[in-house]
Amino acid sequence: MELGHSHGKRRHTNVGYSRTITASTDSQLNSLAEKKQSIKYCHYSYLTLSNRTAYFDVSCNPITIKAEDDMEMLSDLIGTVGELFTSNFEKGTYICAQCNNELFSSNDKWKGPCVWPSFRKGIDQSLLLPDVFNYNDYKCRVSEVYCKNCALFIGHRFEDGKSKGDVHEDAQWRY
């Protein structure tokens, strides 16, 4: 099983920051999302489940709003991949789509509120980056999640698991 939304190995300390609107780091400036529309859309047209290079080339660290929006669009272009993972409860390990690093165990998976699968925790908690202040209209703590091995943007961690329907005794976070 694969998940993933990679460049840049820069890590942050666990302090909060506001969402990144304008690219400023090398990782952000090198993101395919920052290229001219004609260039990036040409790359995007080659995206398939077996060739996700364009998707990986959008990822940056920390993720910019533009890169996050493009990654969501590319996920939609691939199809219902998230929905396939949401409805699959086979035992196993979810791995990074880029480097095959183990990210989540099916034992920690639950039916969350969106089209992407939800997990209570990651296999390795060091994949987390700092809290993101003012992330959309969320009232709970939100953190960005990256693959520890290749720094691919995986998504977010929300401290609203219980309120979003996780009934497990360890419910707190939603990845």
Per-residue pLDDT of the chain (175 residues), as tens digits, is 444 443 333 334 445 556 667 898 899 999 999 999 999 999 999 988 888 899 999 999 888 889 988 988 888 777 655 556 777 788 999 899 899 999 999 998 878 777 777 888 888 776 655 566 666 677 777 778 888 888 898 888 877 777 777 777 877 777 7
Domain membership of residue 167 (yes or no) is no
Q: What is the domain count for the chain? A: 1
pLDDT for 79 equals 64
Quick check: pTM over 0.85?
no
Locate tokens 């700092």: which residue? 130
What is the CATH classification number for the domain harbouring 32? Answer: 2.170.150.20
Whole-angstrom Cα distance, residue 11 to residue 119? 23
Q: Residue 117: is the preceding peptide bond cis (ω within 30°)? A: no
pLDDT for 16 equals 58
Domain membership of residue 63 (yes or no) is yes
pLDDT for 98 equals 92
Domain membership of residue 16 (yes or no) is no
Q: Which domain holds residue 49?
A: 2-11+21-158
pLDDT for 48 equals 85
Whole-angstrom Cα distance, residue 112 to residue 130? 22
Domain membership of residue 126 (yes or no) is yes
Residue 74 dihedral angles phi and psi, to the nearest 5°:
-65, -35
In sequence order, the 6+-apart residues with CB closer than 8 A to the CB of 106 are 1, 89, 90, 91, 92, 93, 94
pLDDT for 161 equals 75
